[in-house]
Chains A and B, each alone.
Chain A
Amino acid sequence: MPSQQKQYEYLEHTADIKFLAYGRTLEELFENAALAMFNVMIDTGKVSGETAKEVFLKSSDLESLLVDWLSELLYLFEVDEIVFRKFQVKEIRDEGSEYSITARASGEKFYPESHPFETEIKAVTYNQLEIEKTADGWKAQVVVDI
């Protein structure tokens, strides 16, 4: 990333995991939130990006879109058995009554023996969920259930 801006940071939470993700654009914000989420589970720096999945989703508002996007990635991880490391959000569109996301997530086939998982994320919550426009872009707060 060319910018000095932080991609994400983890905050203290007694029982679950809370993080802030940042982005100069909404697209980058969603990419960094996905990265923050997967890095809770595994060091994505050690994962290759040979397999890719296309994602297209629609939700009623931006916050739900973020939850749906992260939930979809968890679903693809569990069912298609892919550990993701790279997220390219091509477009987030305000379609009036709803928002849509078009994205591509890449990673590699998951093997329990060769992928040392730190923590399993059960789900993405709406708890304390916030997306905020900041001076230099966007900021989102997410709590995931582990």
Chain B
Amino acid sequence: MAESEDTNTEELSTENMQADVKSLVRKLSEDSWEIPIGHIPNMRVPGRLFVSENLLEDLDPGTIDQVANVATLPGIQKYSMAMPDAHLGYGFAIGGVAAFDEEEGIISPGGVGFDINCGVRLVRTNLQKEDVLLHMKRLIDELFNNVPAGVGSKSRFKASDRELDEAFLHGAKWAVESGHGVEADVEHCEANGYMEGADPAKVSTKARNRGKPQLGTLGSGNHFLEVQYVDEIYDREIASVFGLEEGQVMVMIHCGSRGAGHQVCTDYLKELSQAVKSYGIDVPDKQLACAPAQSKEAQNYFKAMICAANYAWANRQMITHWTRESFEKVFGRDADDLGMDLLYDVAHNVAKLEKHKVDGKMKDVYVHRKGATRAFPRGHPEVPTVYRDVGQPVLIPGSMGTPSFILCGAKEAMDISFGSACHGAGRVMSRAQAKKEFRGQSIKENLEAQGIIVRATHPSVIAEEAPGVYKSSSDVVNVVHELGIAFKVAKVLPLGVTKG
């Protein structure tokens, strides 16, 4: 209670609010800053912020404390990281990445977040911007009607218990086999559409009850389905491997594991907040509840987390299928003929057991990415064969009405960021403040004046997600590009969006 471990951090954080953010860190290079050991007590490694000077100035000191908090956890490797889009979260900062030794380290639900495997997928078409402009309103209406979105929305697909188990076990692979896509979809998805090691028995009845009616729904908040076009290509060679050309129409789907994932996280936070006591782990924020990586508690969470991650891949796969059907209806051609292949699908809230080089030796580590995208370079065995000569596509969604970016994972990611890049634009304004400053209806009109059609279940969702509440996504991707973590390939701009 008043005497809890949080109290110290809390005081420190308030103190730091007064301080100049730059005085808390040490510059390593243009886009790389260190939070020295000692910023808060018990740090095992330093913190590292991958931000430009401009982005650093926008950073909330609380975010720096959160990066430092993670550095106190047992078995952390090299440093606790924040991607350029980092902002204040709970437990880990959003945009936080940390790797933990497979034996000596921990696994923490707070390093993944509630929306397990929230992620992005991008579907290509062979349509050009000019082909769709006249049909945009109908297309967005069709997508809005076909893909359930918003609070309390239910899926068109009535999953049975067995089908829910299958989604937990085999993710997008199951979704394709049950008629929601084509075989090539899973080949173009991170982890081929599902992670091994799921155990549905570790998922509570509550998580099942929440997940069942929502399998095949977009959700609300910052989740969206957007029709976009390729505005600019930065790297022609990689763009041609990714099948991109200027003017080409694309569809971006951004969503996660819905109530199933939220409940898995809630359940295991409770369990692991007990485990920290029994294992004597001192955590500076209760949201960092964790357990030794090989303990029963941590492994149970990991198996349940994989179920939720697979559920999210199944979810995005089903939405892809209904997106194709919507295009088929509007354009009177089948999806194949419209060239609607999956470009790629990336998770940005997940923990994975991966091989990374630490102190010159390859070792297995649990990489936690909370609001960060994997960015494996060319030649990595986990990059799909078609992209292996260039690197994995890294998909960075913009906020509503702002550009999104397609990048390509690069070598430095393996050397400096445990194979990770940013995941979005990064919030700078609270939702409450956004609702004070913006009106949903006027933003909608403003976007429509720019030719961007918006459909949402409620205008306040539009205000909360107004373009002005985010950092500029161009600044964020430029840092990643300059650092050599992932190279810019193309910029895409929105034509229309549906939201919860």
Contacts and interface: CB of A to CB of B under 8 A. Distances in A.
Interface of A: 10, 12-17, 41, 59-64, 67-68, 71, 75, 78-79, 81, 110, 112, 115-120, 122-133, 143, 145-146
A15 B94 contact: yes
Given A14-B430, A116-B458, A128-B6, A123 B286 contact: no
Contact of B460 (A67, A75, A118, A130): A118
A14 B425 CA distance: 14
B133 to A, nearest CB: 31
Interface residues of B, number: 52
Contacts of B113: 145
Contact of B287 (A17, A41, A126, A131): A126
A118 B459 CA distance: 9
Contacts of A68: 270
Contacts of B114: 122-123, 125, 145
A71 B263 CA distance: 9
18 contacts: A14-B88, A15-B94, A15-B427, A17-B432, A64-B273, A81-B152, A112-B153, A116-B458, A117-B152, A117-B220, A120-B151, A122-B221, A123-B114, A125-B114, A127-B286, A127-B287, A128-B285, A131-B1
B90 A127 contact: yes
Nearest to A131: B1
B252 to A, nearest CB: 21
B10 interface: yes
Contacts of B151: 41, 112, 117, 120
A17 B433 CA distance: 11
B210 A75 contact: yes
A123 B152 contact: no
A119 B87 CA distance: 20
Contact of A13 (B206, B220, B430): B430
Contact of A126 (B221, B273, B431, B458): B273
A51 B97 CA distance: 44
B269 interface: yes
Contact of A123 (B60, B266, B430, B432): B266
Most B CB within 10 A of own CB, among A112, A124, A132: A112
Nearest to B13: A128
A67 B270 contact: yes
Given A14-B429, A120-B220, A75 B263 contact: yes
Given A60-B274, A110-B152, A146-B221, A125 B287 contact: yes
B26 to A, nearest CB: 24
A122 B287 contact: no
Contact of B1 (A17, A63, A128): A63
Interface in B213-234: 219-221
Contacts of A131: 1-2
A64 to B, nearest CB: 7
A59 B269 CA distance: 13
Contact of A120 (B1, B221, B270): B221
B150 interface: yes
Contacts, number: 129
B431 A146 contact: yes
Given A60-B274, A116-B458, A79 B6 contact: no
Given A67-B269, A122-B221, A125-B287, 17 more contacts: A13-B88, A15-B88, A16-B88, A61-B1, A75-B206, A75-B209, A112-B153, A120-B219, A122-B115, A123-B114, A125-B90, A126-B289, A128-B90, A128-B285, A130-B2, A132-B2, A145-B114
Contacts of A120: 151, 219-221, 500
Contact of A14 (B60, B262, B273, B286): B60
B401 interface: no
Given A117-B151, A117-B152, A79 B430 contact: no
Contacts of B468: none
3 smallest CB-CB distances across A and B, nearest first, come from A127-B90, A126-B286, A117-B151
Contact of B266 (A15, A110, A118, A124): A124
A35 B114 CA distance: 22
Contacts of A119: 220-221, 431, 460-461, 464
A62 B152 CA distance: 30
A79 B2 CA distance: 34
Contacts of B10: 128, 130
Interface in B23-51: none
Contacts of B1: 61-63, 130-133
B254 to A, nearest CB: 15
Contacts of B428: 14
B6 A130 contact: yes
Contacts of B221: 119-120, 122, 146
Contacts of B476: none
Contact of A15 (B150, B273, B285, B430): B430
Interface in B230-286: 259, 262-263, 265-266, 269-270, 273-274, 285-286
A10 B432 CA distance: 9
Contacts of A127: 89-91, 285-287
A18 to B, nearest CB: 9
Nearest to B115: A122
Contacts of A60: 274
A16 B219 CA distance: 17
